[in-house]
Chain A
Amino acid sequence: QKEVEQDPGPLSVPEGAIVSLNCTYSNSAFQYFMWYRQYSRKGPELLMYTYSSGNKEDGRFTAQVDKSSKYISLFIRDSQPSDSATYLCAMIRGMYSGGGADGLTFGKGTHLIIQP
């Protein structure tokens, strides 16, 4: 079983729809959860960052973390064609959990297509 599972899609939705993206993970030590957006042939761009369980909202984006279920979600409201990209979930035990910084563990990414 991979540490982080994410459906690669593609996920195609009409413009204006609510998009739901999610990841599951197996390592209960993960405490910090991120969502990155990556356009083709570009580096990842941080969208949302949450610590432990709970919700976080930023504009059209809402991130949810349920540590009991080891399940995280990203919701995009009023989706736009410009939101079309690959969305990667990432997680980490803690940046300084071992005395030094940890690298991120990424999901495979979900390719999202917003149809005009």
Chain B
Amino acid sequence: GAVVSQHPSWVICKSGTSVKIECRSLDFQATTMFWYRQFPKQSLMLMATSNEGSKATYEQGVEKDKFLINHASLTLSTLTVTSAHPEDSSFYICSAIPAAPRTDTQYFGPGTRLTVL
């Protein structure tokens, strides 16, 4: 089956530092990847859509300068949380859609838990 990995699985950082989270599709190529954020006991909220070779599309209310997304290849998208603050502490989850055959199923990664001190 389609497998999506995320690295790291958890990270603790100091306020003001930047953190990079990787999302990889291990056995398929993905032209589109999505980044979601989930606060405790809350739903997954779409943050941005990442398309290979183009700029990411951010949802309303998500600061593009704070959450930098790079989708440099068909198997890798990265989310960088810049100048992280405690309110950025959350569970970040990516998903990917296989490029071929054309499908409408998103495969989710295991998530990255970010704690900002």
Contacts and interface: CB of A to CB of B under 8 A. Distances in A.
B44 A45 contact: no
Contacts of A43: 4, 6, 93, 108-111
A74 interface: no
Contacts of A90: 44
Nearest to A49: B105
Contacts, number: 65
Interface in B78-110: 91, 93, 95, 97, 102-110
Taking residues whose C-beta sits less than 8 angstroms from the other chain, chain B's interface range is 20 to 34
Nearest to A2: B43
Interface in A92-106: 92, 94-96, 100-106
A94 to B, nearest CB: 7
B111 A41 contact: yes
Interface of A is mostly: loop
Given A49-B105, A88-B44, A108-B43, A103 B111 contact: no
A63 to B, nearest CB: 14
Contact of A45 (B42, B91, B103, B108): B108
B46 interface: yes
Given A42-B110, A43-B108, A95-B104, A108 B42 contact: yes
Contacts of B44: 44, 88, 90, 104, 106
A88 B43 contact: yes
Interface in B19-74: 32, 34, 36, 41-46, 49, 51, 57, 59
Contacts of A6: 43
Contact of A101 (B41, B49, B93, B108): B49
Contacts of A96: 102, 104
6 contacts: A88-B44, A96-B102, A101-B32, A103-B49, A106-B44, A109-B43
Interface of B: 4, 6, 32, 34, 36, 41-46, 49, 51, 57, 59, 91, 93, 95, 97, 102-111, 113
